[in-house]
Amino acid sequence: MIAVLRKLLSIRGFNNATSSIVAILAGLLFGFIVLLISNPSQAADGFVIILKGGFSTGAKGMGQVMYFAIPLILTGLSVGFAFKTGLFNIGASGQFIMGAFAAVYIGVKWTFIPAPFHWMVALLAATLVGALWALIPGLLKAYLNVHEVISTIMMNYIGMYLANYLVKTTVYDSKKALSMSVAESAVLPKAGLDKIFYNTMGSSGAVDVSTVNCGFYIAIVMAIIIYI
């Protein structure tokens, strides 16, 4: 039995799968402990809701889980890619925020871009700005030997406050007290996912569609590329 376990642990794919499962179980256990501490009487009910998640609301619920998972997957991949090179990228949140601002800015201001290409330009801008934000700690590490953990954490806070300033000075709607809505042409297309992840509303036959989009395909492709 021990020999079999050792053989399994020597397989790269098995190790990766095992570590992922252990991480999920550890996260669930930690969450349950937090629930027990904060509200012991309702901890069990709350934990059941967490476990059910999107599974309890039909196909649309699953689509919504995928929709909210997209930025988490992509930012997680940015951290994982750095780990593969021997570096610690703790600045994923700052890179995400700055990239998101770039996408929103183009979605609001650059409405002159033809509709089929508008979302592509916004996505490309988000990618480039996020990469440039990560480049700064990289240069500090390469030329001044500044530890990337310190510099990336600092860049997170700089990115957060800079994005707040840029939103208020460029795409802020003072009447609604929030940022302006991006043009419809700048929204990532559904790419057929709306025909899979939806719920039918009772006897009326009305369709309640999930907001999941082609970003899910992009996240899967990037995960495969980085894994390879």
State residue 85's pLDDT score: 86
Q: What are the phi and psi torsion angles at 150 (to 5°)?
A: -65, -50
**Residue 43, H or E segment:** helix 43-52
Which tens digit of pLDDT belongs to each residue from 193-207?
888 887 777 666 677
State residue 50's pLDDT score: 80
% of the chain at pLDDT higher than 90: 52
Q: Is the pLDDT of residue 72 over 60?
A: yes
Which tens digit of pLDDT belongs to each residue from 134-187?
999 999 999 999 999 999 999 999 999 999 999 999 999 888 888 999 999 999
Q: What is the mean pLDDT of residues 85-99?
A: 92
State residue 3's pLDDT score: 58
Alpha-carbon torsion (26, 29, 35, 36), positive or negative = negative
User: What is the residue type of 25?
Assistant: L
Q: Is the pLDDT of residue 126 over 90?
A: yes
Q: What is the mean pLDDT of residues 9-25?
A: 69
